[in-house]
Amino acid sequence: MCTASFFDFLPVEIMHLIFSYFQSHEILLSFSNTSNHVDSVLRSYASYKINFKSISKSHFDLVCRRIQPSQIITLILSDADDTPGQSALFLTHFRLEQFSQLQSLRLINIEFDSLNSILLNLHHLQRLHSFTYDSKTIKIHSSNQIHNYSDWIYQLNSSLSKAIVRLMPQLNRLSLSNFTILPTMSLTRLRHLKMGITTIDEFRTILSEIPYLHSLSISLHDDTSHSEHLLLSSHMKLKHLTLKIENSQVSMDQVEQLLLKLIHLTHLELYATGHNDLANGNRWQIVSNSLTVLNFKFKILETLTKEILKSFCTSFWLVEKRWYVAYEEDYLFTVPHFAPVDVNFFQLQQHVPWTTVDTRMLYKQATKISAMLSSNDLLGSLLDSLFRRFYDPNILLRIIATKIDMCQIQQMTLLSLTDIEYLKLYFPRMSGLQKLSIAEEINIDLVEQMRDYRMKQIRTLECCLSTENTSYIIEILLRLFPHVKHLYVSSISSKMDMIRLIDGFHDLSNASFKTHSKFGNIEQRWYFEPELLMYGSRRLAKSTYTCRLNRLLDEQSSITIQIWIGAQVSLSSAY
């Protein structure tokens, strides 16, 4: 029986407020069994916001066991590479109509079968007012789906369109990353809309048919260069606009005309290609005076001089608005919003013209760093080798330290495994480093040089293994990276090598292996029972897990094998 606790003296409303700062599994792990009163509050709490994106399977299982569907107001499901088969597993626990209080639903890379099931039952969610469908790739599980791919896509588009049209009257927020569904009715409730590729006519239709829209994010794939006006009429309510214009050039005249028609706009984010008239800070000052937030990223077709930034150095930009602008590799962009997240060691030595003297602000958002000059091409490899031969790492470290806080680096990409030796001075400064990617194939010569190293902070490893002496290479990697939780191997040729990696990385939460279709004589039945591939794994025999085989549409000769691993089940608990 639970004893009394401090939380027993708090009002239920205060406890609910405390819960709102935690993820669902954190609430259960932190507060369960604290006291009988707290357990009672947990059972009655009806505002769970469930985010299953990148969740561990053990935490997913905990939430599915302990929380009732009627307690959930927000739900995010994901079949991304680190949680394969999640939606199908979720639908074995629950029916969609059980989520009577659900207000917001987001679907990320959901598999065909699960998505169709969800779309057919969306109309049961009477309280749903926000729906998001994110899909960067379509996962193919069987040869039947590959051969009939166009039919599957048509079916998906049809089901999605029907579901959205049926939901439209109750939605105030809709986000479809790669789809465009034009309104067929007056949408007085819709306030926030994100859509995929549209034409300029569709863009105009959306704004004319949704009169109370407050925010819009959209991508124009159309020739706008011959349209004097991007909008033909004013929109009275739009406050936030994210506009990406591709396959066309935009002039400053068009931008000015657009902003004149969006009279209540306060936030603008603009991606475009154009000429140097877009790099006129004085013209921007006139049209952006009423904006609270302005962010842009322009590809400028002419080379700009440093003098051009002077128009962005007035008191309006630097004092009143505190908007900063930089110019690098033909792009003019605002900082820090469009500051690089992924940087190169050697890029940090270059001077980037911009409108503030605080050099660290330019790289304040950088969390990924690469120690390669170029991506695996011959010239890049030669330059990289010459650089490492003649450049003192201590000097490079001092240069980099003036540009970026090394503690913020979370991911690093190396050309070769042996670069760990070259960069060993950097690792103590990178307290946040958890992910490591090795670009070149790892062979026996490389691991022999690294056999005495340990990189205990690495939780995510991306690599490619040589087909020769693979078993020996794997044993060294298991010692070199003892605490890997997330493993991505871009080329593997043996089922037993795959199983050894799964069993050998004791902390492994998910793994992904890319292999040729002839690997292990892949059979049709393995697409429907992929767990058959895992027979022989000691660890998976004692764990709950999901497994998926996916074909990439652009690489149909390749197969990706993905595993999502749960907690081990003790033999005593099995009876």
Task: Write the DSSP string, 460-477.
Answer: EEEE-B-SSSHHHHHHHH
Q: Is 142 helix (H, G, I), strand (E, B) or coil?
A: coil
With respect to residue 328, please indicate whether it lies within any of the assigned structural domains: yes
Domain-embedded: residue 529: no
Quick one: pLDDT at residue 185? 59
Instruction: Report the distance separating Cα 134 and Cα 398, nearest Å.
Output: 42
* Domain annotation covers residue 216: yes
Q: Which domain holds residue 317?
A: 180-338
Strand runs (DSSP E) across 61-124, as ranges?
72-78, 104-108
pLDDT tens-digit series, residues 496-523: 999 999 999 999 999 999 986 555 555 5
Position of tokens 């051009």? 308
Decide: 467 and 441 in contact? Cβ < 8 Å. no
pLDDT digits (tens, 9 = 90+) for 440-498: 999 999 999 888 889 999 999 999 999 899 999 999 999 999 999 999 999 888 889 99
User: Rounded distance, CA 553 to CA 415, Å?
Assistant: 28
Residue 345 lies in a domain: no
Which range among 13-27, 45-59, 270-284, 345-359 shows the weakest confidence by mean pLDDT? Answer: 345-359
User: At 182, is the pLDDT very low, low, confident or very high (cuts 50, 70, 90)?
Assistant: low
What is the mean predicted confidence (pLDDT) over 345-350? Answer: 72
* Residue 156 pLDDT class (50, 70, 90 cuts): confident
Tokens of 193: 């809309």
For residue 305, pLDDT beyond 90: no
Buried b (16+ CB within 10 A) or exposed e, 97-118: eebebbbbbbbbbbbbebbbbb
Residue 431 lies in a domain: no
Instruction: Indicate if the pLDDT at residue 387 is higher than 70.
Output: no
Q: pLDDT digits over 23-78, tens only? A: 999 999 999 988 898 999 999 999 999 999 999 999 999 999 999 999 999 999 99
Domain count for the chain, please give it.
Answer: 1
The number of beta carbons lying within 10 Å of the beta carbon of residue 317 is 23
What's the order of all strands across the beta sheet hosting 510-516? 342-344, 368-370, 411-414, 435-438, 460-463, 486-489, 510-516, 555-568, 543-552
Q: What is the mean pLDDT of residues 291-318?
A: 92
Residue 241 tokens read as 């606009």
| pLDDT, tens digit (0-9, with 9 covering 90-100), for 390-417 | 456 666 667 777 788 888 999 999 988 9
Q: What is the DSSP letter of 54?
A: T
Q: Report percent pLDDT > 70 for the chain.
A: 85
Interatomic CA distance for residues 107 and 118, integer angstroms: 10
8 A C-beta contact, residue 230 and residue 207? no
Please check whether residue 537 lies inside any domain of the structure: no
Determine the Cα–Cα distance for residues 75 and 104; give it in Å rounded to an integer: 6
The beta strands (E) that lie in 213-310 are given as: 215-221, 240-246, 267-274, 293-300
Joined together, the tokens standing for residue 496 give 């037993």
Is residue 255 situated within a structural domain? Answer: yes
User: Measuring CA to CA, which residue among 10, 55, 8, 70 is closest to residue 34?
Assistant: 8
- Please tell me the pTM assigned to this model: 0.88
Q: With respect to residue 389, please indicate whether it lies within any of the assigned structural domains.
A: no
